[in-house]
Structure 1
Amino acid sequence: MKRVAASLFLGTALLWAGAAPAEEIGTIRLGAAVSLTGKYSSNGAFTRNGYDLAVKRINEEGGVTVAGKRYNLAVIYYDDESTPARGAQLVERLIQQDGVKYLLGPYSSGLTEAIAPVTEKYGVPMVEANGAAVSLFRKGYRYLFAVLSTTDQYLRGAVELAASVNEDPSKLRVAMAFENDPFSQDVREGVMEDAAKFGMKIVIDDKLPPELNDMSATLSKAKVLKPDLLLVSGHDKGAALVVRQLADQRVDVPMVAITHCDSAQIAEKFGKIAEYTLCAAQWASTLKYSDALFGSAADYAALYEETYGHAAPYQAAESSAAVQVFADAFERAGSLEPDAVRDALAETDIKTFYGPVKFDETGKNISKPTVLFQVQDGKYVVVYPEAFAEAKVRWPTPSWPTR
């Protein structure tokens, strides 16, 4: 027994004498207040999944190197309960009590709007992936950067698509129902601009309440007024409601376009009644984007599904891209001082599996377009813009008795 112990001791001593000390790896802590409960909980979970997947991959690939030293990434999370005031309070806690110097954004434009003044106050860079309201980038924030396309772009494509398939767009009648929150009202702004450009007539312009449980009033008007195009933005709850209640009330509309189709899983949950629906999206797994970390957009989608057991929504993809943007900025900054990282973020110009990321002076991404899916044969198929289209749009939507 003593001989074995002596041998072990000798071997260990020789190992220590002959080996160089292992490299010490530091940790860069990011903070995030994310909706894990409340009305945004499903999209909040997608947001966290996207952050976690990117952190895991970056760490597996050796982390990030800043001024010759290696660091792993880690995220400190709090649940903002889908409440703006709570989100702002938690970000204050992350900065003041936890000492976090870099923030990942929450889910939704409303929560991002509540948090941005706090990060600005303390000079803490925030890269966000789920606050697309264009109003965020009209306030002169210096520490806010967003990887996604702004909200006013979401349903412009549907207006342009409707114009392209009709001989006289000026004769088209448009029905709109948008939640009364910053995100959806900015979507409406983009729609109004494009509808005016084509001379379309707005016949319904409804505001949906934040606690959305019923759209029958809007759809009853649509049944009478017979619009050519119905546009809806009410996050995942609104997407599910409009698909279900259009079928329940047998409302025929030649073209229907909505936001948050994939997070609401309308094709998976509603089957045939979701067919023909157009879905605004930030990203699709079929797009021809790629990077060294995740590979192609399709590779990312496969890894996400393998990890979490369901298809990758764009909310997760853009969240992963936000972490990649931070990692790139840390390395280029050559410093972990927040102002140096902020300046590196401002100079970002990279290609990712999610798409190109390049910020203008307001902090918004000016390089990446939005896309439109259509539910075709139970699948989400990109139909717009033409450069990314996998198939032609199916139009007009057949009436309910013939479907």
Structure 2
Amino acid sequence: MTYCFESVRASKSNLSRTLTGFVLAGATAGLIAGGPASAKVEGDTIILGSANSLTGKYSSNGVDTQNGYDLAIKTINEMGGVTIDGKQYKLAVKYYDDESTPARTAQLLERLIEQDGVQYILGPYSSPTTIAAAPVVEKYKVPMVEAEGASRALFNKGYKYTFAVLSTSEQYLASAVALAAEVAEKNGKQPSEVRVAMVFENDAFSQDVRAGVVEDMEKFGMQVILDDKMPSDLSDISATLTKVKALKPDLLVISGHNKGAVTAARQMKELQVEVPMVAMTHCEGAKVIDQFGAAADGYLCPTQWAETLSYSDKYFGSAADYDKLFKESFEGYSTVPYQAAQASAAVLVWKEAFEKANSLDTEKVRDAIAATDMETFYGPIKFSEAGNNIAKPMVLRQIQNGEYNVVAPSKYASHELVWPREAMY
């Protein structure tokens, strides 16, 4: 069977540079022909499998995810690959496109495991698709290291074969709530006087983010003055933003993946919405700076990772080194999305687990994954019994003069918070 890489341009047509390496590219209709269905190992190549969102509403971040996987595969292979019992192996990924549809994710994972013989899974993009994937890998007792499913619903079911390198969703906007309380106190107000407006996509991830925000607000006694849901197609929140203009909250929090972030930023500009503090997920993936320029200034954007953090490893070097390599490898990125970085980190977990297990046996490899305790360019990774990463914090960046700068938590901050937000509409 011939392994190759076929560049994906589902939503990033400006990615003209492709990576070479042992990556088997798939599409909805099927995979490249050329031999029998893959076993978990083909010769000297260990094959990982992934059903990922290369089309549909999650495709932008799905492509970021695949780019992160591919860069790590290429880097590991160039460093000699994986050594098991004295033998060297390359890594490869067999991809299918789940079309951003959870039912399709589950169906394609069944295909990867049952028909293609893949025994090692890299997760899909998004919480809804990862929630669909988890019962499948549990059913077949096939380990999955996932990088993009942050929903708490993944970690309260007793799953033994799902492991997530990212911080869970309730942590995403916790720093924004704490910042709002801090700003209130600095300006002679009580945190309980802070008035908050919220608009969230009605999906597992965003509703978990909302739950975390509500829990943190309750600690401070803050007031919820608006609690709206985005429409399912994420295309119009003008009615919500009109209410925001009238209510004049102190803090506006928004979460709707890339498409929701684009809609929010575009319509806030169109409607000239002025709020002193705006916190929104998926700023980087939505490329709000590139699309909206100075109108995006002041947004607070939670991130799993930033290139300014002092993380490093033996594979990529520092966080800044990874940032540089990614931009050199893929065109069209002024900012590296954290989704790509955590995808690369997931591949590093597989590399180390294979070598610690010194075996290809799925149970031994699964146990090695569970025992992971490693430092990476992305941050520390250590899994709880439930499978979530308990070692790495979230950070909050603010867009300041067209750049993302870390402003919270204070021990990670590279810049002071700019408040109130002064967008140039």
TM-score with structure 1 setting the length: 0.92
Query: Partners of 1:251 and 1:298 in 2: how far apart?
Result: 35
The answer as to whether partners of 1:25 and 1:69 remain within 8 angstroms in 2 is no
Structure 1 position 388, deviation (Å): 1.1
Query: Partners of 2:336 and 2:348 in 1: how far apart?
Result: 17
Query: Partners of 1:66 and 1:206 in 2: how far apart?
Result: 52
Residue 181 of structure 2 corresponds to residue 163 of structure 1: yes
Which position in structure 1 is the counterpart of 2:238?
216
User: Of residues 196, 211, 215 in structure 1, which corresponds to 2:218?
Assistant: 196
**1:157-192 residue CA offsets vs partner (Å, 9 max, x unmatched):** 100011111121110000000100000000001000
The answer as to whether partners of 1:25 and 1:72 remain within 8 angstroms in 2 is no
Where in structure 2 are the equivalents of 1:356-395 lying within 5 Å? Answer: 356-395=380-419
Provide the secondary structure at the position in 1 that maps to 2:124.
coil
User: Of residues 30, 44, 52 in structure 2, which corresponds to 1:34?
Assistant: 52
Which position in structure 2 is the counterpart of 1:339?
363
The answer as to whether partners of 1:162 and 1:169 remain within 8 angstroms in 2 is yes
Runs of 4+ residues over 4 Å off in structure 1: none
Structure 1 position 135, deviation (Å): 1.2
| Structure of greater Rg | 1
Structure 1 position 398, deviation (Å): 3.3
What is the one-letter code of the residue matched to 1:154?
Answer: Y
Residues 42, 399 of structure 1: alpha-carbon distance in 2 compared, 3 angstrom cutoff: closer
**1:218-275 residue CA offsets vs partner (Å, 9 max, x unmatched):** 1111111110000000001111111121121112111000000000011111101000
Query: Partners of 2:410 and 2:280 in 1: how far apart?
Result: 19
TM-score with structure 2 setting the length: 0.88
Residues 336, 163 of structure 1: alpha-carbon distance in 2 compared, 3 angstrom cutoff: same
The answer as to whether partners of 1:281 and 1:372 remain within 8 angstroms in 2 is yes
What is the one-letter code of the residue matched to 2:364?
Answer: A
The answer as to whether partners of 1:150 and 1:364 remain within 8 angstroms in 2 is yes
- Pairwise CA RMSD: 1.2
Structure 1 position 25, deviation (Å): 7.0
Query: Partners of 2:346 and 2:166 in 1: how far apart?
Result: 9
What is the one-letter code of the residue matched to 2:57?
Answer: K
Which position in structure 1 is the counterpart of 2:328?
306
Provide the secondary structure at the position in 2 that maps to 1:303.
helix
Structure 1 position 294, deviation (Å): 0.2
Which position in structure 1 is the counterpart of 2:167?
149
The answer as to whether partners of 1:25 and 1:70 remain within 8 angstroms in 2 is no
User: Of residues 283, 301, 308 in structure 2, which corresponds to 1:286?
Assistant: 308
What is the one-letter code of the residue matched to 2:60?
Answer: S
Which position in structure 1 is the counterpart of 2:98?
80
Query: Partners of 2:171 and 2:347 in 1: how far apart?
Result: 23
Structure 1 position 297, deviation (Å): 0.4
What is the one-letter code of the residue matched to 2:293?
Answer: G
What is the one-letter code of the residue matched to 2:229?
Answer: K
What is the one-letter code of the residue matched to 2:345?
Answer: A
Provide the secondary structure at the position in 2 that maps to 1:138.
coil
Query: Partners of 1:240 and 1:211 in 2: how far apart?
Result: 12
The answer as to whether partners of 2:65 and 2:339 remain within 8 angstroms in 1 is yes
Gaps of 5+ in 1: 1-23
Deviates more, 1:239-248 or 1:75-84: 239-248
Residue 144 of structure 2 corresponds to residue 117 of structure 1: no
Aligned residues: 378
Query: Partners of 1:33 and 1:89 in 2: how far apart?
Result: 9
Query: Partners of 1:122 and 1:399 in 2: how far apart?
Result: 51
Query: Partners of 1:399 and 1:44 in 2: how far apart?
Result: 30
Provide the secondary structure at the position in 1 that maps to 2:396.
strand
Aligned-pair identity in percent equals 62
Which position in structure 2 is the counterpart of 1:318?
342
Residues 91, 256 of structure 1: alpha-carbon distance in 2 compared, 3 angstrom cutoff: same
Gaps of 5+ in 2: 1-41
Query: Partners of 1:123 and 1:100 in 2: how far apart?
Result: 12
Which position in structure 1 is the counterpart of 2:4?
none
Query: Partners of 1:200 and 1:58 in 2: how far apart?
Result: 48
**1:13-68 residue CA offsets vs partner (Å, 9 max, x unmatched):** xxxxxxxxxxx971110000011111111100000000000000000000011122
**1:282-313 residue CA offsets vs partner (Å, 9 max, x unmatched):** 11111100000000000001000000012321
Query: Partners of 2:91 and 2:226 in 1: how far apart?
Result: 48
Where in structure 2 are the equivalents of 1:46-61 lying within 5 Å? Answer: 46-61=64-79
Provide the secondary structure at the position in 1 that maps to 2:155.
helix
Residues 290, 25 of structure 1: alpha-carbon distance in 2 compared, 3 angstrom cutoff: farther
Structure 1 position 210, deviation (Å): 2.7
Where in structure 2 are the equivalents of 1:234-245 lying within 5 Å? Answer: 234-245=256-267
The answer as to whether partners of 2:280 and 2:302 remain within 8 angstroms in 1 is yes
User: Of residues 367, 373, 376 in structure 2, which corresponds to 1:349?
Assistant: 373
Where in structure 2 are the equivalents of 1:256-267 lying within 5 Å? Answer: 256-267=278-289
